[in-house]
Each structure stands twice: as C-alpha cells, then as structure tokens.
C-alpha cells in the first residue's frame, strides 16, 4: 500500500508545481516500498539521495516563482524549506555514518510535513503566482 496517494486536495492549480509535488509523492512511495520489502541499505540510501535532490530542486523552483511574483511571505516560506532541508540533511549524515536507521517514523514525518506544507503554505502563494502570470 502506498504511503501517499495523490488527490485533488493537493493540487495548487499550477501545473509545473503539481507535477513536482506528485513526483515527490512518487519518490516517498518508492522509498516506502523499498523499506517495506527489506531492500539493502545502498538501495535505500540511493533513494534517499534522490528524494533529497528532488526536494531541494523543487524548493528552489518554488522560491524562484515566489520571488518573481513578489510574494510577501517569501522569507517565512523559505525558512520552512530551509528547516526541512536541514532536518533531512542531519538525518542523511547520521544514516551514512551508520547511526540512524531508516524507519517508518521518518517516512511518516516526511509525508506529514509534505502534505501539510502543500495544503497550507504552498497554497497561500498561488494567488500571487497567478496574478503575476496575468491569469
């Protein structure tokens, strides 16, 4: 069973961003499936790297869009992104050192963070992005 299932409540109505968010869901699910089937540590590590890379790229993309749209809460939004990036980075460092196990709690934490962030903070910038693109 997938950890995250995409539905319309996650859509922010901006195609590129919806595609990136559903891409993130897919990687979290891939990681979850690999963990549940007991895949080797190097497989999990590679998937974690993929998730971190994709997340960092997505955050940078969103921040560029918010900046271009002169979104007034950019600083706060960026702080949320930085906070998660740091938490995941700390986990990665522990994991690679061998003193942090990849477990369901981490995946639940990531899933909760992602879904809440999309449904709250991300949705808040949408009117600015749309106004900026002249829609």
Least distance to Fe ion from the beta carbon of 103, Å?
24
Residues found near Fe ion in the complex (CB under 5 A): 62, 122
As measured in angstroms, the least distance from the Cβ of 79 to Fe ion is 11
Q: Which residue is nearest to Fe ion (CB)?
A: 122
Q: Positive or negative, the Cα torsion across 87, 29, 47, 97?
A: positive
Nearest residue (CB) to Fe ion, 41 versus 86: 86
Nearer to Fe ion, 29 or 35 (CB): 29
Nearer to Fe ion, 48 or 122 (CB): 122
Smallest distance from Fe ion to CB 116, Å = 11
């Amino acid at each position: 069973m997938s950890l995250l299932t995409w539905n319309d409540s996650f859509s922010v109505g901006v195609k590129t961003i919806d595609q990136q968010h559903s891409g993130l869901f897919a990687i979290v699910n891939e990681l979850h499936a690999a963990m549940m089937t007991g895949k080797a540590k190097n497989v999990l590590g590679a998937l974690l790297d993929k998730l971190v890379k994709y997340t960092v790229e997505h955050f940078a993309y969103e921040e560029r869009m918010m900046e271009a749209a002169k979104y007034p809460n950019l600083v706060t939004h960026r702080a949320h992104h930085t906070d998660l990036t740091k938490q995941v980075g700390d986990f990665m460092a522990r994991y690679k050192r061998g003193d942090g196990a990849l477990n369901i709690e981490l995946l639940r934490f990531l899933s909760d963070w992602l879904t809440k962030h999309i449904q709250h903070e991300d949705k808040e910038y949408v009117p600015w992005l749309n106004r900026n693109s002249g829609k």
